[in-house]
Each structure stands twice: as structure tokens, then as C-alpha cells.
Structure 1
Amino acid sequence: MTVEPTDPVFAIAIAAELTGMHPQTLRQYDRLELVSPKRTAGQSRRYSMRDIEQLREISRLSAEGVSLEGIRRVLQLENQVAELVSRVRELEHALADELVARPGRRVFAADEAGDVVSIKAGTRVRRNTQVVVWRPFSGG
């Protein structure tokens, strides 16, 4: 069984010990919605490793003199960046899957007469490099 970083596994006493904070501080941060631990059926808080990391970040920022509102904004932006990175990865995988699923897509070019012709993807079109000199016909 693998424990994911977002799995709620730590009771408040353990989370407080892991972060070096008092349990009351963790409750306050929960009320301020800086960190939102999951709840058990009996409404006990359960913190994930990701929550622990956020609490450590809150502690670091607070020690640097950042206000709670500033910390809220920093966490909000960090979460937004993480979501965007995740979305970019999703789109990259979807694009890669599409490219693999559709090999040999058709490419079109124009032939000498100007007609549209289909060529295999990755094939270079051979171009006519002859020089033609044109002179008007003088009927005499």
C-alpha cells in the first residue's frame, strides 16, 4: 500500500510535533483556512504530508514577518501554480497520445499544375529546380 502526499494520516498531536507548532495554532490555521485538514467520521482533524509541508511553509513565512493575509495569498498562488503545472502535464500527455495514435497523418502540397496532392508525413516534396526562359513569340 502506497501512501500519497495528500492522504490524511496524521492526528493533530502528531502534526503539531512534525511542524513544531502547538495544536491550538493548527486549529487556528484551520479556522483561518490556511490549511484545511480532512475530518474523520468523529470530526477529528487528519493532516496529510502536504498539509504538514504547508504548515512548515506558514511557519517559515511567519518567522520572516509575513502577515497571515500575505501567507494566505502566497499559499493560494503556490496552489494555483501546482494546479497549472498539473494541467500542463495532462495536456502534454494528451498531445503525445494523440501523436502516437495518429501516425502517418496526411499532409498536403501542390503539384506542378497547382493541384492539391496528398503526401506522407515526413516526406520532403521534390521541387523542380529547372530554369525556364520565356521569350515572347515574334511572328515574323
Structure 2
Amino acid sequence: MNEDELDHDEPCYVISIAARLVGMHAQTLRQYERVGLVEPKRSRGNIRLYSQADVARLRQVQRLINDLGVNLAGVEVILRMNAKMQEMEAEIEGLRRELQRMRDRRLPAPLE
């Protein structure tokens, strides 16, 4: 099974594999978890399990820190604002669909 065949949110990578996928040390992933930048799921044995979504988030954190020079506090703010924007975009899209349904119901039948 390759990375593309996995459910994006399915926890499947232990910390050593997730660290290798993003090119970080496992201790860095633990630090990011401590400060709340990533929240891996836990197995019944309390082992951290990272999903593809977690790996993508770690890559985003890495880009912000390494490429843009953002500190951890800044990364947290950026990620929170990004999540809020996505929520708002989804809400706007829902309102657009609802408005379109309302318009569709009000349209008179076409004249022949």
C-alpha cells in the first residue's frame, strides 16, 4: 500500500517513520506535539501514530520555520488562522449552496 492509497486522516505511521518522511528527528516531532502543533493519535499501547494529514502539517511547519524563518509561536498563529479560514470558506460555500437552492425554488416555470 502506498501513501496515496491511505485515508488521509488514518493514523498509520509510528514516530520514526513520520520523522523520516518529513526529514526531522523524532524528538522534534515530540516537541511539536508538546507545543500543540501536531496531535498524533495513540495506539492502545500509547504509541504515537501519525496520519498523512499529520505528515502534511509537519511539512507545512517545516516550511514555515526553515524557508520563512517563522518561530514556533508564529507557526501556531499561522496554522490556527489557516484552520479558521478553511472553516469560514466551508461556511461560505454552504451559504452559497443554500442561496442557490432558495433562488431555484423561486424561479417561475419557463414560458413556452
Shorter-normalised TM-score: what interval? 0.7 to 0.9
Relative contact order (C-alpha < 8 Å, sep 6+): which is higher? Answer: 2
For 1:82 and 1:40, the matched residues in 2 are separated by 29
Q: Which has the higher helix share?
A: 2
Aligned to 1:121: 108
Aligned residues: 106
Pick aligned residue for 1:27 from 27, 30, 46: 30
For 1:89 and 1:80, the matched residues in 2 are separated by 14
TM-score normalised by L of structure 2: 0.78
Q: Does 1:77 align with 2:81?
A: yes
- Structure 2: give runs of 5+ residues left out of the alignment: none
Pick aligned residue for 2:16 from 3, 10, 13: 13
- Structure 1: give runs of 5+ residues left out of the alignment: 106-119, 125-140
Residue 13 of structure 2 aligns to a residue in which SS?
coil
Summarize deviations over 1:62-86 as a string: whole Å, max 9, x none. Answer: 1132111001101111111122222
TM-score normalised by L of structure 1: 0.64
Tell me which stretches of 4 or more aligned residues in structure 1 moved more than 6 Å: none
Q: Which amino acid aligns with 1:78?
A: N
Q: Does 1:90 align with 2:77?
A: no
